[in-house]
Structure 1
Amino acid sequence: MFPFLAALAQTGSIKGKATTADGKPAELVNIRITETGKGTVVNYAGNYTLNNIAPGAYTITASFTGLLTQRKNVTVTAGNATVADFMLAESHQQLQDVVISSGKNKITGKNSEQIARMPITNLQNPQAYNVVGQELMKQQNTITLTDAFSNAPGVTPILYPSGGIAALSRGFSTDVNARNGLQSTAGRSSADVANIERIEFIKGPSGTLFGAGISSFGGVVNLVTKKPFETFQGSVDLSMGSFSLGRISADINTPLKKDNSLLLRVNTALQKQDSYNERGFYNSSLLAPSLLYKATDRLTLLVDAEFYNVNSIRPSYVRLTPASGIRSYADIPLDYKKSLLDNDLDAKTSASKFFAEAKYKLSNTWTSSTNVSYVNESVERSYQDYPIWISKDSVTIDVSKYGPISNVYTNLQQNFNGTFQTGSVKHTFLAGANIAQYKGRGSSGSTGVIRAFDIRNNNAKVDRLLVDSALTPGKLMNWGLSNTITYGAYVSDVVNLSDRFYVMLGLRYEYIEDKSTGIWATQYTQSSLSPKLGLVYQLLKDRVSLFGNYMNGYQNMPPVTQPDGSRFTVKPVYAKQYEGGIKAELMHKKISTTLSYYYIDIDNAVRYDGNFFAFQDGKQRSKGIEWDFTATPTEGLTAILGYGYNDNRIIDAKGMEGNIVSNAPQHIANYWFNYHFKSGFLKNFGLGAGGNYVGKAYFDDENNYLLPSYHIVNASAFYETGKLRLGLKLNNIGDKKSWGFWGAPNPTRNFVANLTIKF
Structure 2
Amino acid sequence: MKPAVLALAVQAALAAAPAWAQESKPELTLGEVKVQGTAAGITEGSGAYIADESAGSTGLGLSIRETPQSVTVITRQQLDDQNIHTMDEVLATTAGITFTEMDVGARTTYRARGGEISNYKIDGMAYNGSTGFNSMGMAVNMDLYDRVDIVRGANGLLGGTGDASATIDLTRKRPGKTFGGKVGLQVGSWDQRRLVADVNVPLVEDGSVRSRFVISSEQADSFRERQSTENYGALASFEMDLGSRTTLGAGLQHEKGYIKGATWGANVPIWFADGSKTSLSRKTNPVADWSYREVEATTAFARLEHRFDSGWKTELAAAQMWGATTSHLGVAKVNSTSGGYGGYWNQDGSGAVLNAFHSEGVNSMSTMDWKLSGPFELFGRTHELMLGYSSAWSESTAYGMRCSLNGVALASNCQSRISASAAINDWDSWDGSFAPLLHSRTGAKTITRTYNHGGFLASRFSVADPLAVILGARVSTYRTYADAYTAAGAKTHGAPSGNKNVVTPYAGVVYDIDRNYSAYVSYTDMFKPQSSQDVDGKYLDPITGASYEAGIKGEFLDGLLNASLAVFENEQQNMAEADGANLTPTGAQAYKAKGKGVKTNGFEIELAGALTPNWNIYGAYTYIDVDDPSTTAGRSDPRHLLRLNTTYRLPGEWNKLTVGGGMTAQSEIPTVSSPAGAPLSTSNGVTASAATKVTLPGYALFSAMARYQVDAKTDVALNISNLFDRTYYRRYGFYAGSIYGDPRRITLSLNTRF
TM-score by length of 1: 0.79
Contact preservation (8 Å) 1:524, 1:559: no
Q: Are 2:695 and 1:713 aligned? A: no
Structure-1 separation of matches of 2:215 and 2:560: 32
Q: Are 2:522 and 1:530 aligned? A: no
* Counterpart amino acid of residue 199 in structure 1: V
Partner of 2:10: none
Structure-1 separation of matches of 2:333 and 2:52: 43
Partner of 1:748: 743
Which of 661, 678, 692 is 1:689 aligned to?
Answer: 661
Classify the secondary structure of the residue corresponding to 1:259: coil
Contact preservation (8 Å) 1:695, 1:709: yes
Displacement, 1:243?
0.6
Q: How many residues align?
A: 647
Q: How does 1:190-589 map to 2 (within 5 A)?
A: 190-212=139-161, 216-313=163-260, 314-318=262-266, 331-383=277-329, 385=331, 387-388=333-334, 390=344, 393=347, 394-403=351-360, 405-443=361-399, 445-450=414-419, 451-452=422-423, 457-459=428-430, 461=432, 463=434, 465-468=435-438, 478-518=444-484, 521-527=494-500, 528-541=502-515, 543-557=516-530, 571-589=541-559
Contact preservation (8 Å) 2:286, 2:331: no
Displacement, 1:640?
2.1
Q: Are 2:619 and 1:650 aligned? A: no
Classify the secondary structure of the residue corresponding to 2:483: coil
Give unmatched runs, 5+ long, in structure 1. Answer: 1-42, 44-62, 68-94
Structure-2 separation of matches of 1:555 and 1:385: 34
Q: Are 2:103 and 1:113 aligned? A: no
* Counterpart amino acid of residue 449 in structure 1: I
Partner of 2:646: 673
Query: Deviation string for 1:407-449 (max 9, x for gaps)?
Result: 1111122111121122124321111112221111123521222
Displacement, 1:357?
0.9
Query: Deviation string for 1:178-205 (max 9, x for gaps)?
Result: 1111111233342111111111111012
Query: Deviation string for 1:276-327 (max 9, x for gaps)?
Result: 1112111122110111111122321111221112221335522879995769
Q: How does 1:139-158 map to 2 (within 5 A)?
A: 139-158=81-100
Structure-2 separation of matches of 1:266 and 1:613: 44
Partner of 1:70: none
* Counterpart amino acid of residue 638 in structure 1: N
Contact preservation (8 Å) 2:112, 2:152: yes
Displacement, 1:598?
0.8
Displacement, 1:503?
1.0
Displacement, 1:569?
9.0
Classify the secondary structure of the residue corresponding to 2:611: coil
Contact preservation (8 Å) 1:660, 1:703: no
Partner of 1:727: 717
Question: RMSD of the TM alignment (CA)?
Answer: 3.1
Range that drifts further, 411-420 or 700-709: 700-709
* Counterpart amino acid of residue 441 in structure 1: T
Query: Deviation string for 1:17-72 (max 9, x for gaps)?
Result: xxxxxxxxxxxxxxxxxxxxxxxxxx9xxxxxxxxxxxxxxxxxxx99545xxxxx
Displacement, 1:164?
6.1
Query: Deviation string for 1:486-539 (max 9, x for gaps)?
Result: 221111111111122111112111112224202894423323321111111111
Contact preservation (8 Å) 2:106, 2:264: no
* Counterpart amino acid of residue 458 in structure 1: S
Contact preservation (8 Å) 1:245, 1:273: yes
Structure-2 separation of matches of 1:123 and 1:757: 36
Contact preservation (8 Å) 1:317, 1:386: no
Contact preservation (8 Å) 1:171, 1:665: no
* Counterpart amino acid of residue 618 in structure 1: K
Query: Deviation string for 1:563-602 (max 9, x for gaps)?
Result: 7xxx989642113111111111101123211111111111
Contact preservation (8 Å) 1:109, 1:589: no
Higher relative contact order (CA 8 A, sep 6+): 2
Displacement, 1:608?
8.7
- The structure-2 alpha-carbon separation of the partners of 1:363 and 1:562, relative to structure 1 and needing over 3 Å to count, comes to same
Displacement, 1:239?
0.2
Structure-2 separation of matches of 1:207 and 1:603: 16
- The structure-2 alpha-carbon separation of the partners of 1:462 and 1:595, relative to structure 1 and needing over 3 Å to count, comes to farther
Structure-2 separation of matches of 1:429 and 1:467: 58
Structure-2 separation of matches of 1:467 and 1:390: 22
Partner of 1:638: 616
Range that drifts further, 731-740 or 394-403: 394-403
Partner of 2:685: none
- The structure-2 alpha-carbon separation of the partners of 1:103 and 1:310, relative to structure 1 and needing over 3 Å to count, comes to closer
- The structure-2 alpha-carbon separation of the partners of 1:608 and 1:123, relative to structure 1 and needing over 3 Å to count, comes to closer
Displacement, 1:746?
1.6
Structure-2 separation of matches of 1:558 and 1:168: 17
Displacement, 1:725?
0.9
Partner of 1:30: none
* Counterpart amino acid of residue 669 in structure 1: L
Structure-1 separation of matches of 2:271 and 2:185: 48
Query: Deviation string for 1:707-756 (max 9, x for gaps)?
Result: 22221111112202420110111111211122224742221112000000
Q: Are 2:661 and 1:661 aligned? A: no
* Counterpart amino acid of residue 390 in structure 1: Y
* Counterpart amino acid of residue 167 in structure 2: V
Classify the secondary structure of the residue corresponding to 1:258: coil
Contact preservation (8 Å) 2:38, 2:175: no
TM-score by length of 2: 0.79
Displacement, 1:670?
1.3
Displacement, 1:269?
0.6
Contact preservation (8 Å) 1:105, 1:590: no
Query: Deviation string for 1:588-632 (max 9, x for gaps)?
Result: 123211111111111343569899996674211111111111242
Q: How does 1:78-89 map to 2 (within 5 A)?
A: none
Displacement, 1:674?
1.5
Query: Deviation string for 1:206-250 (max 9, x for gaps)?
Result: 1221123xx632111111111111211100000001111000001
Partner of 1:20: none
Structure-2 separation of matches of 1:241 and 1:560: 42
* Counterpart amino acid of residue 304 in structure 1: G
Displacement, 1:132?
1.0
* Counterpart amino acid of residue 500 in structure 1: P
Partner of 2:28: none
Classify the secondary structure of the residue corresponding to 1:576: strand
Structure-1 separation of matches of 2:540 and 2:359: 29
- The structure-2 alpha-carbon separation of the partners of 1:575 and 1:377, relative to structure 1 and needing over 3 Å to count, comes to farther
Contact preservation (8 Å) 2:385, 2:458: yes
Displacement, 1:553?
2.6
Displacement, 1:690?
1.4
Displacement, 1:109?
2.8
Partner of 1:13: none
Structure-1 separation of matches of 2:591 and 2:647: 55
Displacement, 1:369?
1.1
Structure-1 separation of matches of 2:416 and 2:519: 56
- The structure-2 alpha-carbon separation of the partners of 1:420 and 1:310, relative to structure 1 and needing over 3 Å to count, comes to same
Contact preservation (8 Å) 2:38, 2:177: no
- The structure-2 alpha-carbon separation of the partners of 1:562 and 1:142, relative to structure 1 and needing over 3 Å to count, comes to closer
